[in-house]
Amino acid sequence: MAIRPTRALDREQLKVLLTLVQDGVVSRRQLLDLGANDDDIERMVRRRELYRRHPGVYVNHSGPLTRQQREWVAVLVHWPAALTLGSALPDPPYSAVVHVAIDLRRTVKPVAGVMAHRTACLTDRVDWRAAPPRMRLAHTVIDLASRVVLADPLAAFRLLAEAAQTRRTTAATIADVLRGRRVAGRTLLLEMLDDLATGACSVLEREYLRAVERAHGLPQGRRQKPSSTRTRSAYRDVEYEDHDLIVELDGRASHDSARGRDADADRDLEARVSQGATTVRLTYGLVFGTPCRTAGHIGTLLQQRGWQGAATPCPRCP
């Protein structure tokens, strides 16, 4: 009977893997690939060179795991796997659970602290060179936004805007990927991405008309009135011609966060109320997030310009 040749554990490569690549985390499969056997692994555990965190996954210390170590453990315990959903964002929010994507055909046992999601076309949607591997950002933001867009369009828009502002992807790239996916609210998401990419405001215009103007009994403004400047032709989003008030709806994202931009626009709106300006600029946050407050301000501006009516409460008003 032939004796299978053995080779010694390559400790230099193990050191590189632990210190430079995987933040102190390694799997049994990787240890075997480096020349270790099960006796070697048990010996390292006894000597406290490695600590078992999950079956087949080890770290090089006994203390609390960092966020990135938790991510590596989650990926390796379900390998081949990749970070997904909120865990795959560039700056993920803290969560006690790490979300990983696995192949659609796999079934895995539950692991504490890890949520596995069976995912179609996994190989094509993952950046396997990332450390740890993760779903590509366009796919990640589509998955997250499609989960909330029908119930909370503002949350979906903010996800899209903040992803586009990372410079790791663009609104146009996300739209191209989305056209090849079948997800909830795809048409609405595509319109939002068009708002982000071009400044068009189809989604924002509809919501302003529905949730701000009509819901609160404001007079009906004229939509898309042609206007011109010294350099180009343009269109006014909403103009209240009898009251010398123009509302510009801004569907684009800036280099700041979408949430910060909403706060700036809210301050601008309040300043314009007190100063009597004739043009206001409204963002997604002011229309989708606080339509009642926004309607009150627009009503005040109209009254300052001669409107005899008053904004009326809607069912959402506090």
* pLDDT tens track for 225-259: 676 544 445 567 888 988 888 898 887 665 456 66
DSSP letter at 147 equals: H
Q: What is the tens place of the pLDDT at every residue in 178-227?
A: 999 999 999 999 999 988 887 666 788 888 988 999 999 999 888 876 76
Task: Report the pLDDT value the prediction gives residue 224, as an integer from 0 to 100.
Answer: 72
Mean pLDDT of 2-30: 84
* pLDDT greater than 90 at residue 33: yes
Pull the structure tokens for residue 5.
Answer: 């040749």
Mean pLDDT of 160-182: 91
Question: In this structure, which long-range contacts are made by residues 73-76, counting pairs with CB atoms below 8 Å and at least 24 apart in sequence?
Answer: 73/25, 73/98, 73/113, 73/114, 74/98, 74/99, 74/100, 74/111, 74/113, 74/114, 75/100, 75/132, 75/133, 76/25, 76/26, 76/27, 76/30
pLDDT band at 272 (very low <50, low <70, confident <90, very high): low
pLDDT band at 276 (very low <50, low <70, confident <90, very high): low
Task: Report the pLDDT value the prediction gives residue 230, as an integer from 0 to 100.
Answer: 45
CA atoms within 13 A on the CB side of 292: 7
Task: Report the pLDDT value the prediction gives residue 132, as an integer from 0 to 100.
Answer: 96
d(CA 182, CA 301): 43
* pLDDT greater than 60 at residue 39: yes
Task: Report the pLDDT value the prediction gives residue 235, as an integer from 0 to 100.
Answer: 64
Q: Give the lowest-confidence range in 121-125, 192-196, 312-316.
A: 192-196
Mean pLDDT of 263-274: 64
Task: Report the pLDDT value the prediction gives residue 260, as an integer from 0 to 100.
Answer: 61
Task: Report the pLDDT value the prediction gives residue 167, as an integer from 0 to 100.
Answer: 80
CA atoms within 13 A on the CB side of 128: 8
Of 164, 251, 153, the C-alpha closest to 204 is: 251
Q: Dihedral of CA 207/212/213/214: which sign?
A: positive
Q: State the chain's maximal CA–CA distance in angstroms.
A: 101
Q: What is the tens place of the pLDDT at every residue in 56-94?
A: 999 999 999 999 999 999 999 999 999 999 999 998 888
Task: Report the pLDDT value the prediction gives residue 204, as an integer from 0 to 100.
Answer: 86
Q: Phi, psi (5° rounding) for residue 243?
A: -125, 10
d(CA 315, CA 318): 8
CB burial of residue 267 (10 Å; 0-12, 13-18, 19+): exposed
Query: Collapsing DSSP states into helix, strand and coil, what is residue 188?
Result: helix
What amino acid is encoded at 313 in this protein? P
Task: Report the pLDDT value the prediction gives residue 259, as an integer from 0 to 100.
Answer: 67
Mean pLDDT of 282-308: 93
With DSSP H G I counted as helix, E B as strand and the rest as coil, what are the percentages for the chain, rounded to 5? 45, 15, 40
